[in-house]
Amino acid sequence: MYGFTIEQASKSLNVSTATIRNWIKTGYLEQLSKGIITQKSFDEFILNIAGKEKLNARANKSLKNVHHLKKTTDEIKALTQNFSDENIGIEYENSLSNSYRNKEGIYYTPSWVIKDMFKNIKFDSHYTFLDPCCGSGNFIVEAIKAGVLPENVYGFDIDENAVFITKERIKQTFGFETPNIKVGNFLEEVPKLSKENVFFDLIFTNPPWGKKIDKEDKEKLASTYHTGNSLDTTALFMGASMSLLKKNGLLGFLVQQAFFNITTFEDIRSKMIVKKIVRFVDYGKAFKSLMTKAQAIIIKNIGANADDMIECCVENKSFERKLASFKKNPKFIFNFWTNENETQVIEKLYATKYTTLKDKATWALGIITGNNNNFCSNTQKDGYVPIYKGTDITKNGLKKTTTFISNDFSNFQQVAPLKMYQAKEKLIYKFISSNLCFFCDTEQNFILNSANLLIPVDIGITNQQLTDLLNSEIMNWLFNKLFSTYKVLRGNLELLPIHIDYFSYHHQFSETTYLDYLQITKNNNGTFTKNCTNGL
């Protein structure tokens, strides 16, 4: 009798080993020996129990991971016949579990986004077109409709069902068998294509966002495709695609917002900024199941000039910005949602002498209990201490806490060294927020993980002065214009300019004197303008 381990079963079903053990206890699964499940009981569980009996919600969702690759050819073929061309991909995507989609980074691109990404692009019939992760074929179908010959399209995907759907759509719509659309991992196919001198005029795709790959494999791929420390699959697919793009060819990637402003993507941005960037586009929250925005970058494979103008499309508005304005940003941040006038204010903030928090502070997360419902109380008890959440922090002080926690921290999931929380002075701040909200804590208060802390080291000003700077209107404005995020990340805070010399003239902070010092004016509508002095 064959069997496999509890760990193998949990990985296969994408549930915890504790869940597998519970199913053994309840008789759903049979043990061959200690820690080993019989193959027969596992197969019967998949066939007769999964999805039919009420397991826990996560388990039932995870079972789609097992079933979705076992759809028969007839089932997939029926899908292509029963739904219109526009809805086939949507229907198939809906058949996948959320856990599988998250693991593989699968979110199929709406046709309206693709059509906009193709806007103003000439599709000659002799052009070769590649979608490195084609899914159910939306990019490829639109490319053929735009003028690329079916025999000149290429596509790869690891999901054989998705590839079958793509090929069947092309066959039904255009009457052409497509031998160049194949099941395969594009990141592994690139060397073969390069060796065969297969290069492309157009490469457009929505790469898997944050696909789970072993770190060692990511590092090897990053070395192969020259993406440096940018190890996310978005960066890897972009680097790999650039290696197959013809001179003057166009690359179009629909990516997560983080690509444009997070330090993780700095190295791949540095590769893109030396090319001619044609267009940036913000499509908002194009995927209902994701909080992050979907944004696009279109690049022409020729060298860039500092005076190149880039079209920036945000909220149905379009304007142009010079490439040079992005090069001046820290970490080559592509903050294309910021217009030319706002860019001048940002340049002014960084043209004024400043320091940063980089290497000038120690940082810690708030306490992670692992289960706030179990470990936190809304009433004071013996042995419990007050603890503050992010929502308790205001720029004017701390709200009266309504949360208490056991003073025995040994059972909590993650706790920073106690000396961090009990420092004589520390800055605590909201973590989940689109705005900066800091408080200088001198009472050794504890914080939950919706708040973080930092302890400045030799920054050159007092902790209260630093708090006032970070809470200022202009610094909040800069934070939004650079990062446009709902999380206050340490890496972003370390990029903000800290103008300590201001306090040589003004011991007490005020927004008015700070703006005067910076030579920036606040307008009646809440925007800011750089004063026209000293040629800056």
- Both 64 and 178 in a single domain? no
- Both 63 and 86 in a single domain? no
Residues 428, 445: Cα–Cα separation, whole Å: 9
Q: 226 lies in a domain? A: yes
Residues 175, 155: Cα–Cα separation, whole Å: 17
Burial of 124 (0-12, 13-18, 19+ CB in 10 A): exposed
Q: 514 lies in a domain? A: yes
- Both 131 and 149 in a single domain? yes
pLDDT along the chain (536 residues), means of 10: 67 71 74 76 66 48 44 60 59 56 60 94 94 93 95 94 88 91 95 96 90 84 93 94 97 94 93 97 79 90 94 93 93 94 95 96 95 91 94 94 93 93 97 95 96 96 98 97 91 96 96 97 93 60
Place of tokens 């004071």: 380
Residue 12: domain span: 3-68
Q: 536 lies in a domain? A: no
DSSP string, 221-248: HHHHTT-TT--SHHHHHHHHHHTTEEEE
Computed on alpha carbons and rounded to an integer, the radius of gyration of the chain in Å comes to 27
Last residue of a domain, one of 337, 352, 384: 337
Last residue of a domain, one of 37, 68, 99: 68
- Both 84 and 117 in a single domain? yes
**What pLDDT does 249 receive?**
97
Q: With contact defined as beta carbons under 8 Å apart, do 282 and 145 qualify?
A: no
- Both 124 and 164 in a single domain? yes
Q: 350 lies in a domain? A: no
- Both 291 and 371 in a single domain? no
Q: 131 lies in a domain? A: yes
Q: 463 lies in a domain? A: yes
Number of domains in the chain: 3
Q: Indicate the pairing of strand 426-430 with strand 438-441.
A: antiparallel
Last residue of a domain, one of 38, 68, 98: 68
Tokens of 358: 């980089």
- Both 325 and 463 in a single domain? no
- Both 43 and 83 in a single domain? no
- CATH, residue 366: 3.90.220.10
- Both 47 and 152 in a single domain? no
Please give the model's pTM, rounded to 2 decimal places. 0.77
Tally of CB atoms within 10 A around 498:
22
First-to-last CA distance in the chain? 79
- Both 429 and 513 in a single domain? yes
Q: 487 lies in a domain? A: yes
What are 319's strand-pairing partners? 312
- Both 478 and 515 in a single domain? yes
- Both 12 and 49 in a single domain? yes
Q: 348 lies in a domain? A: no
What are 127's strand-pairing partners? none
- CATH, residue 244: 3.40.50.150
Tokens of 47: 């066939």
Place of tokens 């196919």: 189
Residues 279, 491: Cα–Cα separation, whole Å: 26
Q: Which residues contact 184 (CB under 8 A, 6 or more apart)?
A: 156, 157, 158
